[in-house]
C-alpha cells in the first residue's frame, strides 16, 4: 500500500554505521518516494524545511507539489525499525508465563495446549491482531513468525500483517512426532501439503513478497521425523522459500536429538542431511553448538537468531554471540515469545547486553557486547538474517523507509510537574545529556512510550497520541 505523496523526514537520525559504531546525524533529511524507497539522505541539511526545499535533489516530486514533511520532535530521532527474527505469534497470550519450567516441560505445560486451540479462527484473529499491534508498537517493522499447524489460522496471520503493514515471514509449524497426538500433522504428506497451501496463499496475497512472505517451519528436530525433515527440504528447493527452526537451545534437548537421530552425528547435521542447512535457514538459539557445528553453519551460510530473554528465562544457557559473529555467522535478535517474556526488541537489546555480561563472568571480557553492537544485531544484523540487508536496517538511498520515531520527552517538563506527577514516559531527561547519553537512556530505560510512530516502506503503521502533538 503506497503512500500518496513523497515525504521528507527532517531532523536527527541514528543508525548503525558498523557493528560497533552508531552514526548520529543531528541535522538530517531523508527523502522517501511514493513507493516508500529512500531517494536521498542529507546530512547537515540546514535544519528546517525551507532550507531543505532549496537544497534537496528531489526535484521530480517538487515539480508536482506533492511533498509532505515529517519533523522529528525536538530531542528525538529517527531510528531503523527493529527486526524480530524469531517470534511465535500463536504463543503471544502466554507472554510472561513460564513458571519454573525448562524447554521440554514448558512445551507441554504452556505451549501445546494453547497452539492447538487455533482451529478457532475468532480466537486466532484476536491473538494475532494483538501480537501484530503490540510488536508494531515496540518498533518491530519486520518479524519472522511461527504460527501453529493450522492452515486457515496461518493464512489469517498473513492477512493481518499485510493489512496492518508489518513485514512478516509467516510459517505454519510442521511436526509429526513428540507433540501431543491432538496436535501433530497426520502424515508427512498431509503436513507437507498443508505447508505448500500456506506458501501458495501467502504468495497469492502479496505476489512480490514486499510485505508478507511464507517461511517453511519445522518446529525443531525432536518433533519432526527424518522423513518429515527431508520432505520439507524438498519443499524448500521447489518453492525457494525461507526456512526457520530451532537448534541447540538446551542440553536435554540436544541429548534427545542424539537419541532420536543417532546416526546424524550432530544437531546441525540433522538439518544438513535434510538439505535444510543453507543461506535461507534461520536457526533460533544456537546456544550450545560444537565447533564442528559452527563450522558447518559457516560453510552453509545459515543464519542465527539470538534469543537472550528466552535463554535466560528457561535457563537454557548463554549464546556465545561474539564467537558466532567472529566466525562470520550472521546473527539477529529474536524475542522468542513466549519462551521469551517480552515482545520488545528493545528489551532484547538490553538482554543481549546482560547475557553477554553473564558470559563474560565465566569466559572473560571479550564476550561482552556493547549496546551499540546489540542495536546492530536488532537492525542490520536482523536484516541479514532475513535476507533483506539491501532493503532495510539502515538509512541509505535505495533502501525502504522502515523506521521509528524515538522521543524521550522534554527536560522542561521536569520543572512543571505537580506533587503526584511522574513523567508519562519511562525516561527522565535533565537537559545536560549528550547524544550518546540520550541513546543509552533510551536503550536501558526506554519502552514503547518512546516510540512515537512507526513506518514500514513509508507507510505509517503505528502512532501514539504524542506523535500528533
Min separation Cβ 211 and a copy of itself, Å: 15
Q: Are 324 and 285 in contact (CB under 8 A)?
A: no
Min separation Cβ 103 and a copy of itself, Å: 13
Complex with a copy of itself: residue 38 or 318, whichever CB lies closer: 318
Separation of alpha carbons 269 and 254, rounded Å:
12
CA 136 to chain centre: 10
Residue 244: its H or E element = strand 242-247
Of 134, 141, 206, whose CA–CA distance to 458 is shortest?
141
Residues 97, 205, 230, 260: which binds a copy of itself (CB under 8 A)?
A: 97
Q: Are 264 and 304 in contact (CB under 8 A)?
A: no
Min separation Cβ 124 and a copy of itself, Å: 12
Q: Are 178 and 192 in contact (CB under 8 A)?
A: no
Stretch that binds a copy of itself, among 7-15, 172-180, 199-207, 349-357 (CB under 8 A): 349-357
Our finding on whether 182 is near a copy of itself (CB under 8 A) is no
Q: Are 161 and 168 in contact (CB under 8 A)?
A: yes
Tell the residue number behind the cell numbers 541539511, with chain if given.
45
Write the burial class of residue 394 (CB in 10 Å: 0-12 exposed, 13-18 middle, 19+ buried): buried
Min separation Cβ 199 and a copy of itself, Å: 27
Complex with a copy of itself: residue 273 or 435, whichever CB lies closer: 435
Our finding on whether 437 is near a copy of itself (CB under 8 A) is yes
Our finding on whether 40 is near a copy of itself (CB under 8 A) is no
Separation of alpha carbons 132 and 116, rounded Å:
20
Min separation Cβ 440 and a copy of itself, Å: 5
Separation of alpha carbons 105 and 256, rounded Å:
13
Phi, psi values for residue 57, rounded to 5°: -100, 40
Complex with a copy of itself: residue 234 or 423, whichever CB lies closer: 423
Our finding on whether 1 is near a copy of itself (CB under 8 A) is no
Residues 368, 410, 435, 459: which binds a copy of itself (CB under 8 A)?
A: 368
Residues 86, 167, 184, 462: which binds a copy of itself (CB under 8 A)?
A: 462
Our finding on whether 228 is near a copy of itself (CB under 8 A) is no
Complex with a copy of itself: residue 123 or 300, whichever CB lies closer: 123
Complex with a copy of itself: residue 112 or 271, whichever CB lies closer: 112
State which of positions 312-331 bind a copy of itself (CB under 8 A). Answer: 312-313, 315, 317-318
Binding residues for a copy of itself, how many (CB under 8 A)? 58
Provide the β-strand partners of residue 214: 170
Separation of alpha carbons 418 and 328, rounded Å:
53
Burial 361-370 (b: 16+ CB within 10 A, else e): eeeeeebbbe
Q: What is the largest CA-CA distance in the chain?
A: 70
Min separation Cβ 398 and a copy of itself, Å: 28
Interface positions with a copy of itself (CB under 8 A): 92-93, 95-97, 99-100, 126-127, 129-130, 133-134, 136-137, 164, 312-313, 315, 317-318, 341-342, 350, 353-354, 357-358, 360-362, 365, 368, 370, 414-415, 417, 419-423, 426-428, 430, 432, 437, 440-441, 443-445, 447-448, 461-463
Amino acid at each position: 500500500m503506497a503512500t500518496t505523496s513523497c515525504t521528507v523526514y527532517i531532523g536527527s537520525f541514528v543508525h548503525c554505521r558498523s557493528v560497533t559504531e552508531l552514526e548520529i546525524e543531528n541535522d538530517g533529511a531523508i527523502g522517501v518516494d511514493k513507493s516508500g524507497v529512500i531517494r536521498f539522505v542529507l546530512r547537515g541539511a540546514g535544519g528546517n524545511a525551507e532550507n531543505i526545499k532549496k537544497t534537496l535533489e528531489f526535484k521530480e516530486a517538487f515539480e508536482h507539489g506533492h511533498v509532505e514533511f515529517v519533523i522529528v520532535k525536538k530531542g528525538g530521532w529517527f531510528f531503523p525499525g527493529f527486526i524480530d527474527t524469531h517470534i511465535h505469534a500463536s504463543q503471544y497470550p502466554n507472554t510472561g508465563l513460564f513458571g519454573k519450567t525448562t524447554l521440554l516441560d514448558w512445551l507441554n505445560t504452556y505451549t501445546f495446549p494453547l497452539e492447538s486451540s487455533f482451529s478457532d479462527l475468532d480466537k486466532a484473529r484476536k491473538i494475532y491482531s494483538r501480537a501484530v499491534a503490540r510488536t508494531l508498537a515496540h518498533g518491530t517493522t519486520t518479524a519472522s513468525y511461527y504460527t501453529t499447524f493450522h492452515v486457515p489460522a496461518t493464512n489469517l496471520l498473513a492477512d493481518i500483517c499485510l493489512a496492518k503493514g508489518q513485514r512478516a515471514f509467516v510459517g505454519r509449524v510442521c511436526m509429526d512426532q513428540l507433540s501431543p497426538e491432538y496436535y501433530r500433522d497426520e502424515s508427512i504428506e498431509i503436513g507437507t501439503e498443508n505447508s505448500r497451501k500456506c506458501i501458495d496463499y501467502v504468495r497469492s496475497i502479496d505476489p512480490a513478497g514486499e510485505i508478507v512472505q511464507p517461511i517453511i517451519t519445522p518446529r525443531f528436530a525432536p518433533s519432526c521425523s527424518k522423513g518429515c525433515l527431508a520432505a520439507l527440504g524438498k519443499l524448500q528447493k521447489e518453492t525457494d522459500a525461507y526456512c526457520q527452526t530451532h537448534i541447540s537451545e538446551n542440553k536435554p534437548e540436544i541429548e534427545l536429538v542424539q537419541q532420536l537421530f543417532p546416526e546424524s552425528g550432530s544437531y546441525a547435521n540433522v538439518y544438513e542431511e535434510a538439505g535444510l542447512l543453507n543461506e535461507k535457514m534461520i536457526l533460533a538459539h544456537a546456544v550450545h553448538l560444537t565447533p564442528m557445528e559452527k563450522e558447518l553453519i559457516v560453510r552453509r551460510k545459515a543464519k542465527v537468531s539470538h534469543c537472550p530473554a528466552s535463554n535466560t528465562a528457561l535457563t537454557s544457557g548463554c549464546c556465545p554471540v561474539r564467537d558466532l559473529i567472529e566466525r562470520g555467522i550472521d546473527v539477529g535478535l529474536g524475542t522468542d515469545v513466549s519462551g521469551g517474556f517480552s515482545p520488545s526488541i528493545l528489551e532484547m537489546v538490553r538482554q543481549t547486553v546482560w547475557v553477554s555480561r553473564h558470559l563474560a563472568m565465566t569466559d572473560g571480557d571479550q564476550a561482552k557486547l556493547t549496546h551499540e553492537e546489540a542495536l546492530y544485531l536488532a537492525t542490520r544484523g536482523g536484516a541479514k538474517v532475513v535476507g533483506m540487508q539491501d532493503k532495510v536496517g539502515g538509512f541509505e538511498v535505495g533502501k525502504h523507509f522502515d523506521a521509528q520515531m524515538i522521543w524521550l520527552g522534554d527536560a522542561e517538563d521536569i520543572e512543571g510537574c505537580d506533587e503526584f506527577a511522574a513523567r508519562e514516559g519511562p525516561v527522565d531527561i535533565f537537559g545536560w545529556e549528550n547524544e550518546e547519553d540520550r541513546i543509552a537512556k533510551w536503550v536501558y530505560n526506554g519502552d514503547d512510550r518512546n516510540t512515537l510512530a512507526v513506518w514500514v516502506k513509508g507507510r505509517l503503521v503505528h502512532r501514539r497520541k504524542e506523535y500528533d502533538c
